[in-house]
Structure 1
Amino acid sequence: MSPVIGVFALQGNVREHVAMLTQAGAEARPVRRPSELAQVDAMVLPGGESTTMEKLARAFELFEPLQKRIADGMPVFGTCAGMILLANEITGGIAGQETLGGLDVTVRRNAFGRQVDSFEADLEFAAFEAPYHAVFIRAPWVERVGPQVEVLSTVSSGPATGRIVAVRHDRLLATSFHPELTGDARLHGYFAELVREL
């Protein structure tokens, strides 16, 4: 049976994530309310603006239900701002900024610079044979990983060489970049498989 994967739909590239999840063989649904969250097996937190996403989640009464589902073991895939929302700790954040938590990492917000510093790179992934072409837009990076966190990919060239840009912590998956903008559904497929294994 196809897993039902929700996409946080209050901000970010919602349609693109829904399309990639569908391509990967999952059933994907936009989630804006707690009643919709209750109907999904897993969630994708897309890119966007992490502080705005936090405020919108609170306004739509989604923040605490999401936090509880994550604490109870729901699989979540966070991309760019979604990675920040999952992190237990942020550096370079706004005063008082809160996260959903669950991912035992420290993430630096806007680590790669501003919009003008956006870039693309081919990344080696332990799970894939061929490199993955990644799109970075005002992206964070991971500065610290906890003992249970698996590093899936790092930047292999340029001034950010060695920076961690993809991690997995049990049922939580996070990338600094935007996999929904590549046309390559392998990461969405990897996440759908993680959900199916439950």
Structure 2
Amino acid sequence: MRHVGVLALQGDYEAHGRVLSELDVSWQLVKMPRELDAVDSLIIPGGESTTLLKLMAPIAMRPALERFHAQGRPIFGTCAGLILLARETRMPAQESLGLIDIVAERNAYGRQIDSFIGEGTPLVADLEPAPLEMVFIRAPKIAELQASVTPLATCQDVVVLARQDNVLVASFHPELTSDRRVHQYFLDMVSG
């Protein structure tokens, strides 16, 4: 039985919870490191990456997430979650967990006022060929990805969804659309 955790320190974690409920998946909010023991996978939602790092520090969430990853449990990061999971971040540089071999450029699509809805192109059969609706809010860009990272979808010819082993990242917010394919892809990783 899949039991997904949603990191609930900051950001729109409730939107991911609604999607999981809609997909009839058991889930819980994760606010403390010990709660990671109760879940087999984790979603790190969008929000503000520097704020997330500040909230994680006093409760020792970073080492807990590193252990979670080392145990092979799947992690899905959207927007700020992508930034936290990246090997390196730029514009400006900041600390990250380094769990996926990408370079993320923060706020690459502009400020809040520059947010937009785009149409993405799936690159793998698991996502079906139909265009994906993608919501970009102060979104990061995957500026570089190593050969060990699989691009899964693009928008405007830029990779915006990628996977390396048990880590999935999205520049956009799939939880803010009615298309459930990205979450279903993650759940299939969990069942794997």
TM-score bracket, normalised by the shorter chain, equals over 0.9
- The question of whether the paired residues in 1 share the 8 Å contact of 2:161 and 2:170 is answered with yes
TM-score (norm 1): 0.91
Structure 2 unaligned spans of 5+: none
Pick which of 125-134 and 83-92 moved more.
125-134
SS at match of 2:38: coil
- Separation in structure 1 between the aligned mates of residue 70 and residue 106 of structure 2, nearest angstrom: 23
User: Structure 1 or 2: larger helix share?
Assistant: 2
2:178 equivalent in structure 1:
183
Aligned pairs for 1:33-182 within 5 A: 33-94=32-93, 97-125=94-122, 126=124, 127-155=127-155, 161-182=156-177
When the two chains are superposed, the root-mean-square deviation of aligned CA atoms in Å is 1.2
The amino acid across from 2:114 in the alignment is: D
- Separation in structure 1 between the aligned mates of residue 54 and residue 73 of structure 2, nearest angstrom: 22
The amino acid across from 2:133 in the alignment is: H
> 1:24, CA displacement in angstroms?
2.4
- Separation in structure 1 between the aligned mates of residue 20 and residue 185 of structure 2, nearest angstrom: 10
The amino acid across from 1:113 in the alignment is: G
- The question of whether the paired residues in 2 share the 8 Å contact of 1:5 and 1:44 is answered with yes
> 1:151, CA displacement in angstroms?
0.6
- The question of whether the paired residues in 1 share the 8 Å contact of 2:36 and 2:68 is answered with no
- The question of whether the paired residues in 2 share the 8 Å contact of 1:78 and 1:175 is answered with yes
> 1:62, CA displacement in angstroms?
1.3
TM-score (norm 2): 0.94
Structure 1 unaligned spans of 5+: 156-160
- The question of whether the paired residues in 2 share the 8 Å contact of 1:75 and 1:171 is answered with yes
> 1:72, CA displacement in angstroms?
2.9
